[in-house]
Amino acid sequence: MVHTAPAALKGGNKVSGKTKISIVGLGYVGLPLAVALARSFDVVGYDVNENRVKELRQGHDRTMEIDTPSLRASSVRFTTDINDTRDADIHIVTVPTPVDEDDKPDLNPLKGACEAVGPVLKKGAIVVVESTVYPGVTEDVCGPILEETSGMTSGTDFYLGYSPERINPGDKVHTVDKIIKVVSGQTDEVTNILADIYGAATTGGTYRARNIKTAEAAKVIENAQRDINIAFVNEATMIFQKLGISAYDVLETAGTKWNFLNFTPGLVGGHCIGVDPFYLAHRANEVGHFADLILTGRRINENMGRFIAESVHSNLSGKSKILVLGVTFKENVPDLRNTKVVDIIQVLRELGHEVDVHDPLADKDEASQFLDIDLIENLSDLNGYDAIVGAVAHSVYRDLSPAALEEMVGGKGLLADVKGIWRNTEFSPDIKRWQL
Residues acting as catalytic residues: 272
Neighbours of 392 (CB within 10 A): 26
Question: Which residues does 172 contact at the CB level (< 8 Å), separation at least 6?
Answer: none
Strand partners of residue 357: 324, 375
Question: Which residues does 267 contact at the CB level (< 8 Å), separation at least 6?
Answer: 301, 304, 305, 308, 329, 339, 340, 341, 343, 344, 391, 418
